[in-house]
Amino acid sequence: KGILYLVPTPIGNLEDMTYRAVRILGEVDAIAAEDTRHTGILLKHFDISKPLISYHEHNKEEKGNAIIDMLLDGKNIACVSDAGMPAISDPGADLASKAIAHHISVVPLPGANAALTALIASDLDTKQFTFFGFLPKRGKHRNDALQLMAKQRGTLIFYEAPHRLQEVLQDMYDAFGNRPITIARELTKKFETFLRSDLSSICNDLEKITYKGEFVLVIGGSETGDAIDEVPQQSMSYEEAVAEL
Ligand code: SAM
């Protein structure tokens, strides 16, 4: 059997490609890519020439099975998305599940990811956080989701499209009340900016924000309810941990 590699790619700055990612992409038999044209440009930059398989949200069932057949046939395949970590708000998770179900080795590579990159410079709690990805697009579903999230302890991390941002920020203020928020824009790119503020001030200034580029929203969690970090830490020996697995 071959190996399925999950390979992160840069979220804007090509220097964030890892040496290992370049090596693995250069060694595999084929690369499953969300957008073959987009990945073709990246590969050209790193002087890599490999067969590309189009694998995306709308063909993942049929193409996923074809990729599994190739892996069972001994081919090594890398899975990449357009940017960042495959399987994080991107295709890849289904392919990894299928491979695991067929007892095929899945090797994940660490690398660029917008959520964690935004979080570590957000000035919000990094000890406990929840990643939600994209909120539902429709108002009612979005508001229902936000109501549930309002009770969540720990920092909340969201992805959002620029054309929905203004509406979503207002809905967040309505659901969460005033909370600290960091809007991370164009991470790793020329116009990278961090707006560290609170939902009330942001909603008073909604028309002053530039709604262009890519955004991560990092928001303070609920201050009430049970916090995991209040549970006393138990130290467990390696033997005890293995015995519990
Ligand atoms: N797989 C990617 C990852 O690991 O971060 C996420 C892909 S998701 C389809 C795209 C969303 O990620 C964008 O709409 C934006 O919210 C966020 N994003 C990606 N690149 C970004 C960047 N350079 N700056 C800010 N947000 C970014």
Averaged pLDDT score across all residues of the chain: 94
Q: Residue 211's pLDDT is what?
A: 87
| Integer Cα distance of 107 and 102 in angstroms | 14
Read off the pTM. Answer: 0.93
**Ligand 1 within 6 A of CB of 11:** yes
Helix (H, G, I), strand (E, B) or coil at 46: coil
**Ligand 1 within 6 A of CB of 160:** yes
Tokens 């001030």 map to which residue? 201
Which of 6, 7, 9, 11 is the best mutation target for the ligand 1 pocket, counting ligand atoms within 8 Å of the beta carbon and taking the most? 11
The ipTM is: 0.99
Q: Residue 238's pLDDT is what?
A: 80
Average pLDDT for residues 109-123, to the nearest whole number?
Answer: 98
**Residue 243 confidence (pLDDT) above 90:** no
Tell how far the Cα of 159 is from the centroid of ligand 1, in angstroms.
Answer: 7
**Residue 229 confidence (pLDDT) above 70:** no
User: Could you tell me the pLDDT band of residue 234, with boundaries at 50, 70 and 90?
Assistant: low
Q: Residue 241's pLDDT is what?
A: 77
DSSP E strand boundaries for 116-231? 129-134, 155-160, 180-185, 193-198, 215-219
**pLDDT above 90 coverage of the chain, percent:** 87
Average pLDDT for residues 99-126, to the nearest whole number?
Answer: 98
**Residue 233 confidence (pLDDT) above 70:** no
User: For 30-56, how does the pLDDT look when each residue is reduced to its tens digit (9 = 90+)?
Assistant: 999 999 999 999 999 999 999 999 999
In sequence order, the β-bridge partners of residue 4 are 77, 106
Q: Residue 226's pLDDT is what?
A: 61
